[in-house]
A and B are shown apart, each in its own frame.
Chain A
């Protein structure tokens, strides 16, 4: 369900997205795996939102540009621009509330 983004593609994809969430992850990071599960649950209840994933360690340009030094960092996209980013964990209820408050 996650479209993979890279240093080459992330900027255009964000510009083309009305409503999306990007997770910047590290391969070995256990917290990232937990956060992906939360996003999966969220996606089932929110059709119409696009989901993306970017490997922070392999894409240093994106990492620096998006301020994603810590993993997981979520990047919330609205109307082709970054609305906000959030590092750390959230549970489904918290994600729902956070998203609705944007």
Chain B
């Protein structure tokens, strides 16, 4: 089958939150079992160097929905009236749109991330929606403290260590209130999202019309509650662990709070959860094929970010996204695309970013060159004229080697980083003390100062002392900062980064 836009009617976009790129068999992990995603990779095009630009969850969705970089513009914010999303562009065209999701940040009040979808199915209960279950009575046999390590919660005298302790137990309590009704993994979050997606594909959609389906599964984001936690059996990836299951850990640095062994066990539970996600998403992929849609549907599977879970390459000393740090384990994401007519089993090295995924979807659907307009009834219609991404089609067809020489990542208002083949560089927008104390959404409140976008007469480039430079070939997980050894490289990368972000800011 050759590639032809006329033959491709539909797009299925599958987002799996917090699926770290190096926790998949197809990305080289030799321990975790992900047979379905690995099979999909063999049948599709796998991108080895895909990077999310603005973190965390919400900026990634915004970049994907608008096709525009967020780092120069905003962080954890609602979609605005000025944003034009892919569903806005699809309005007025022959395209039915559907969103099946349990990623609760998208459902925050006034955030509007379900905007423009004809069919919306929100599955409740994940983090940020967990508190809606706060007052459900809880089976007295289920105690939050049994689902985490007491040493993460209590000090030597039996008191809460700090407010994070209380928050941790409350959060676990909310998940227990939901999962007390669970009887098998069919009741897990990802299973629900997958089953409700299959229902839409098999029964609910209008089979006579093309469709754009966005599946947003919050799993494998924590809580780390794979089957072994509920069945009371050893975790298959860490059967010798003899402590409590660790459904959640506090939002803190690990030092003095979470032991290395506990971090290791968390990572094992995370792997078990990924295996479960692989199983259920495998069923969604199978449904697409069973419905006879494989040869007329573009399928994208990706994640938004990884997860800090410990020291060194596991998380640089933090647990969960407790700091706005854009390190490799967080920002490097898995991305795979099946496009009918494009040869499968390809691995592509070029850097790609979220906005390129959007540009590719629009290109495949023949909507890349659309412009804003007015319908014949005087209603506004929208086009892709403000997109900043590059379609990956030429890359996937072997016509070009790369679409980007580098990638950027960061947390709005807090940190920017630039990743090249040789180096990675992190530029802090805040001082060292704020870097080590701020949480991951605080930057969203920041106004980018005039200093950011202007130069004074005679001013030299100012490089914060705590900026970081890494040799990407020798040290991809950024453990050995060489900024002091190679200041000229650091300065050049900072200039390149500022110039690029300035270009994005002016387009």
Contacts and interface: CB of A to CB of B under 8 A. Distances in A.
A30 B498 contact: yes
Contacts of A35: 506
A30 B301 CA distance: 37
A90 B453 CA distance: 9
Bin chain B's interface residue count.
Answer: 10 to 19
Nearest to A39: B506
A63 B457 contact: yes
Given A30-B495, A30-B498, A71 B454 contact: yes
B502 A34 contact: yes
Pick from B386, B457, B506, B507 the residue with the most CB of A within 10 Å.
Answer: B506
A31 B457 contact: no
A47 B506 CA distance: 21
A96 interface: no
B455 A29 contact: yes
A69 B456 contact: yes
Contact of B457 (A26, A30, A87): A26
A71 B453 contact: no
Given A30-B498, A34-B502, A38-B506, A87 B455 contact: no
Interface in A17-61: 26, 28-32, 34-35, 37-38, 56-57
29 contacts: A29-B454, A30-B495, A30-B502, A31-B498, A31-B502, A32-B455, A34-B499, A34-B503, A34-B506, A35-B506, A37-B506, A38-B506, A56-B457, A57-B457, A57-B458, A69-B457, A70-B450, A70-B454, A70-B455, A71-B456, A71-B457, A87-B453, A88-B450, A88-B454, A89-B505, A90-B506, A92-B506, A92-B507, A93-B82
B507 A89 contact: no
Contacts, number: 58
Interface in B77-133: 82
Contacts of A93: 82, 386
A90 B504 CA distance: 10
Given A31-B498, A38-B506, A57-B457, 17 more contacts: A28-B455, A29-B454, A30-B495, A32-B455, A34-B499, A34-B502, A34-B505, A34-B506, A35-B506, A37-B506, A38-B507, A69-B457, A70-B454, A70-B456, A71-B456, A71-B457, A73-B454
Nearest to A31: B502
A89 B13 CA distance: 34
B455 A31 contact: yes
A42 B495 CA distance: 26
A26 B505 CA distance: 19
Contacts of B456: 69-71
Contacts of B82: 93
Interface of A: 26, 28-32, 34-35, 37-38, 56-57, 63, 69-73, 87-93
Give the top 5 A-B pairs by smallest Cβ distance, nearest first: A70-B454, A88-B453, A34-B506, A30-B499, A89-B453
Contacts of A88: 450, 453-454
Contact of A31 (B453, B458, B507): B453
Contacts of B506: 34-35, 37-38, 89-92
Contacts of B455: 26, 28-29, 31-32, 70-71
Contacts of A71: 454-457
B500 to A, nearest CB: 9
Contact of B454 (A38, A63, A72): A72
B395 to A, nearest CB: 26
Contacts of A91: 505-507
A28 B499 CA distance: 11
Contacts of B386: 93
Pick from A70, A72, A87 the residue with the most CB of B within 10 Å.
Answer: A70
A69 B458 CA distance: 10
Pick from A38, A57, A87, A89 the residue with the most CB of B within 10 Å.
Answer: A89
Interface in B141-160: none
Nearest to B458: A57
B459 to A, nearest CB: 9
A17 to B, nearest CB: 24
Nearest to A63: B457
A39 to B, nearest CB: 10
A9 B311 CA distance: 62
Pick from B386, B455, B499, B507 the residue with the most CB of A within 10 Å.
Answer: B455
B383 to A, nearest CB: 14
A88 to B, nearest CB: 4
Contacts of A69: 456-457
A92 B503 CA distance: 12
A89 B82 CA distance: 18
